[in-house]
Amino acid sequence: MVLFVAPSLPFVAPTFEGDLGAQGAVEESLRSAFTATAAQGAWPTGSWRIFIHPDAVSFETATGAPPGRSGQWVGDTLHLRPWDQLRRRDLGAVLRHELTHRRLTGKGLRRWVEEARCLWAEAHHRPPKAWPGLPPLPFQERLDRALAGGTTRDQVWAYRWLRAWLRRESLPEPPSRRVPEPDAWVKEAGTSADPVTVVWPAERLRGPLTVNGQPLSHQPGKTWRFQGRVRFSDTFLVRDLRGTVKIRAESQGWQVSWTIARPAWIAAATEGELGAEAPFESRRALAAVLDRWLEGHPNQHPGGTLCPLTHCAVVRGTASADTVRAVRRAPELDLDPRWAFFTGSAGGWSLSSREVWGEGPADPGGSVEVQGDRWLSWERTLSALQVAALKRDLKPGLIPGQRGLKLGDSGPYAMEDLRLAAGRHFGWTTWPSNACEGEWRTDGSLRLKGCGWGHNVGLCLATARFRATNGATAEQILTEAFPASWRTP
């Protein structure tokens, strides 16, 4: 008897055009996206092309695509944004999405159905066992119209609707016009098809570990699974967890993975970043931002997980009932997920996404100088040796609009690169924020004067606390923090 093994379909390489310097990096992601989407539909025969545009204007002229879109098919050519924009986005997800479009071409699917399947393919290797129920026909037509050529507002709504539909969450109402009362096809809220997993790395969790009163024996490789409530000893870095918890003994310590529904993560991160004692309205405001951030950054770490650190958002454990309530009552925020940022303190000197990363809105949001804020203003001196180490580590050069600093006669270097490199080399308080001015000295040292803590972009948590204490609502806080340009996709 001969066992027949289905051959895995070979990668059909495209022809590359445009910025060929980026071809290697794009091709690598392309190969894995090709394999990852194999179950979404057969790859059509025939040649195809990838055009990596040299700049955003050329991409937008060729495709008519809005700033939020990273790739767009025109016939057999997939047009991609310039590499310096792509590399800041989740290129894998972009390519899985676009390759799925090509796999679904000619299948006669409604526009919104095809779009939903492509969104699904961004994070899943195969279609679900069953798609959620279909909305009534007139509503489907409305979705198609919004996607095909609707206003920006319609499009934002349509994409939010599709993502909520895929997650079987409560569905956002279309803008302005009245819609038929949602009925049987609206799934009850809270049943999240896309849970969030937070992983504490083992090197951060050392020492003996007691779970629900029972000590665990530390044998590397051994794994425990818990469901429901997990209590740790008081001295452990992680607080109580409710949900699905996996603990693995590793040589350096304990790796803890916590899987929860999105709202539970938003609550945990809101409390981790602001504290359970922060005014209710400030927690509502941050919850709204975290909801948008999660939309744009679902796969920050290998395996689609999040870390419990500032990099993603600080998480210590299950949030209080009051913070869960703040999340449930968080305002709907029409914020582009790519710019859904918050910062510990801006010290009254907020920066725009463009100033820090060279991409996104160019106007900074608003923040206030909060008296008593320890990061209101700061001064630092970096020694000549420290400055030399930064120069060795970094490449000079700025993207238009980006803030930078010259170090002697070299540079300018991007401020954000300097801050992060200083943090990695010398500790995170060495270069507290991007809102600063530097004075280069002839002995090679650098004097810094600045405001704030973190990247200084988006919602300032010190401002949110202060404004909420003085009676502002979350809606007011968010309007002050995010100018209109941040809300267009």
Residue closer to Zn ion, measured from CB, 194 or 475: 194
Minimal distance, residue 312 CB to Zn ion, in Å = 3
Only segment of 57-65, 211-219, 310-318, 372-380 that touches Zn ion (CB under 5 A): 310-318
Minimal distance, residue 148 CB to Zn ion, in Å = 12
118 is a contact residue toward Zn ion (CB under 5 A): yes
Residue closer to Zn ion, measured from CB, 48 or 280: 48
Residue closer to Zn ion, measured from CB, 357 or 378: 357
Any residues with CB less than 8 A from the CB of 251 and at least 6 apart, and which? 202, 220
Only segment of 5-13, 126-134, 293-301, 366-374 that touches Zn ion (CB under 5 A): 293-301
Minimal distance, residue 115 CB to Zn ion, in Å = 5
95 is a contact residue toward Zn ion (CB under 5 A): no
Determine the size of the site formed for Zn ion (CB under 5 A).
Answer: 5
269 is a contact residue toward Zn ion (CB under 5 A): no
300 is a contact residue toward Zn ion (CB under 5 A): yes
Rounded (10°) CA dihedral 291, 292, 298, 301: -90
312 is a contact residue toward Zn ion (CB under 5 A): yes
66 is a contact residue toward Zn ion (CB under 5 A): no
Residue closer to Zn ion, measured from CB, 300 or 479: 300
307 is a contact residue toward Zn ion (CB under 5 A): yes
388 is a contact residue toward Zn ion (CB under 5 A): no
Residue closer to Zn ion, measured from CB, 51 or 120: 120
Only segment of 299-307, 313-321, 349-357, 361-369 that touches Zn ion (CB under 5 A): 299-307
Minimal distance, residue 138 CB to Zn ion, in Å = 23
425 is a contact residue toward Zn ion (CB under 5 A): no
Residue closer to Zn ion, measured from CB, 118 or 286: 118
Binding site for Zn ion (CB under 5 A): 118, 300, 307, 311-312
